[in-house]
Amino acid sequence: MWHNIFKIASKPDNIPIVGMLLLVLFFWFLSFWAAFKNDRIRRAAAGRPRPEGEKSKGDVVDVIDFMYPEEEQGLPKKVNCWPHLVKLEFICAIAVMALLMFWSIPIDAPLEEPSDSTLTPNPSKAPWYFLGLQDMLVYFDPWIAGVLLPTFIIVGLMVIPYVDVNPKGNGYYTFAERPFAILVYWFGFFVLWVLEIVIGTFCRGPGWMFFWPGQEWDPHRVVSEVNINWNEFLANISGITALKTETAGLLLGILTILAYFGLGMALPYLWLKRQESTIIYRLGLIRYGVVGFFFWTMMALPIKIVLRLVFSIKYILVTPWFNI
C-alpha cells in the first residue's frame, strides 16, 4: 500500500507537491497562531490607555501598540533599512540558494521518452499546479472547468480588495475582525485548490478513475456508474415521469440555477437584515451581488462533487448547445 503512494510521491515532478503541502500546513498554522495571538492581545488591551505621546489614528493603533512585547514598547518605531532589513534579506537569499542547490544536485529534473503523438500515456496529466482544474473536468464540462472557472478564479481574486469593505485587519493578522473573509479564502485555497491537486496527483489513475491512496492502479478495473441528469433524478424520486422530457429538463435546469443564485443571495440578505447588521448597507447592492455571485460559483464545485458522488447526478441543465 505504501509502495504505491511512495512511487507517486517520489516522482521528481511530484516532490514539489509534498513540499507544498508541508509549507502550506506550516504557514496555515503560523498565520492562525499569529492571528489568535493578536486577537487575544487586543481583547486584553481593550480599554487600556494609549502609550504616552502616541497620536491616535483611530481604531487600528491600539492593537499594534500592544502587540509589541512590554520591553520593546519604548523603542523607536522605525529602524534603518540598511543594515537591519538588507541583512535579513541577504541571509534569507543565501538560505534559499543553499536549499535550491542541495535539491538540484541529487534530484534530476524528469526527462521521459521523446514525445510521440501516437503513444498516449494513461493517465495523461497536466502539470501538477493545474491538476485542480483537470480534476474539475470530472464534475463540469471542459468549457466550465477549463475556461470559465479559471477566468472566474482570476477575476474573483482581483475583485477581492474592491468588495471587502471591512476597514479592520489592515496590515496585521487577525481572525476575530474578519472571520468571513478568512474562512472563504482558506476554503477556496486550501480545501478546493490544494486538495484538488492532491486528489489529482495521488488518487487519479488510468482513465482518470478514482483510486484510494495506496490502491494499486489497475487499468482494467471496471467502474459501473450510471449517471443521470437532475430532471431524471427528480422524476425518479417523485414518480412524475413527465419530468423526464427534454423540455422539462431545460426548464427545471434553468429554474434550479436561478433559484440557486437567487436564494443564495436573498436568504443571507434577509438574515443580515433581521440581525440589523450594517454590512449590507456598507456593501451596497452591487458589491453584495458580486460577492454573492463569486461565492456561490465557488460553492458550486463542492456541491456538484457531492451531487455526483452521492446521487450520481451528472448535469443540472441540459441544452442542445451546452450542459451545466
Partner 1 sequence: MLTEQIEEIKEIIIGSRVYKSIFRRGFEDTPKNRVLAILGNVFLHLHPPYVKRHALKFTHSWCMGGITFLLFLVLCFTGVFLCFYYHPDKINAYRDMKYFEYDVPFGVVLRNMHRWAAHLMVITVWLHMTRVFMTGSYKPPREFNWVVGVFLLVLTLLLSFTGYLLPDDQLGFWAVTVGTNMARATPLLGHEGPFGEQLGVTAYNDIRFALLGGSVVGGNALLRAYVWHCVAMPVTAIIFLAVHFWRTRKDGGTAGPL
Q: Does residue 107 bind partner 1 (CB under 8 A)?
A: yes
For the chain, the distance separating the N- and C-terminal CA atoms, rounded to the nearest angstrom, is 37
Non-local CB neighbours of 256 within 8 Å, separated by 6+ positions: 230, 316, 317
Q: How many Å is the maximal CA-CA distance in the chain? A: 78
Closest approach of partner 1 to the CB of residue 120, in Å: 7
Closest approach of partner 1 to the CB of residue 257, in Å: 15
- Tell me the DSSP string of 200-232: IIIIB-GGG-B--TTS---TT-------B-HHH
User: Exactly one of 23, 183, 242, 267 binds partner 1 (CB under 8 A); which one?
Assistant: 23
Q: Does residue 66 bind partner 1 (CB under 8 A)?
A: no
Q: Does residue 25 bind partner 1 (CB under 8 A)?
A: no
| Sign of the torsion angle spanned by Cα atoms 239, 240, 246, 251 | negative
Closest approach of partner 1 to the CB of residue 250, in Å: 14
Q: Does residue 134 bind partner 1 (CB under 8 A)?
A: yes
Footprint (CB under 8 A) of partner 1, residues 303-322: 321-322
Segment interacting with partner 1, rule: CB under 8 A, options 153-161, 243-251, 264-272, 303-311:
153-161
Q: Does residue 239 bind partner 1 (CB under 8 A)?
A: no
User: Exactly one of 25, 86, 183, 191 binds partner 1 (CB under 8 A); which one?
Assistant: 86
Q: Does residue 118 bind partner 1 (CB under 8 A)?
A: no
User: Exactly one of 1, 44, 46, 97 binds partner 1 (CB under 8 A); which one?
Assistant: 97
User: Exactly one of 80, 224, 247, 278 binds partner 1 (CB under 8 A); which one?
Assistant: 80
Q: Which amino acid is at 28?
A: W
User: Exactly one of 34, 228, 254, 305 binds partner 1 (CB under 8 A); which one?
Assistant: 34
User: Exactly one of 8, 45, 64, 176 binds partner 1 (CB under 8 A); which one?
Assistant: 64
44/94 with CB nearer partner 1:
94
Distance from C-alpha of 202 to C-alpha of 205, rounded to nearest angstrom: 8
Q: Does residue 104 bind partner 1 (CB under 8 A)?
A: yes
- Tell me the DSSP string of 240-308: -GGGGSHHHHHHHHHHHHHHHHHHHHHHHHHHHHHTT-SHHHHHHHHHHHHHHHHHHHHHHHHHHHHHH
Cell digits for 16? Answer: 514539489
Distance from C-alpha of 258 to C-alpha of 269, rounded to nearest angstrom: 16
User: Exactly one of 6, 16, 221, 311 binds partner 1 (CB under 8 A); which one?
Assistant: 16
117/224 with CB nearer partner 1:
117
Footprint (CB under 8 A) of partner 1, residues 249-268: none
Q: Which amino acid is at 305?
A: I
204/304 with CB nearer partner 1:
204
Q: Which amino acid is at 264?
A: G
Q: Does residue 157 bind partner 1 (CB under 8 A)?
A: yes
Q: Does residue 207 bind partner 1 (CB under 8 A)?
A: no
User: Exactly one of 66, 173, 202, 295 binds partner 1 (CB under 8 A); which one?
Assistant: 173
Distance from C-alpha of 238 to C-alpha of 228, rounded to nearest angstrom: 15
| Sign of the torsion angle spanned by Cα atoms 257, 294, 145, 143 | positive
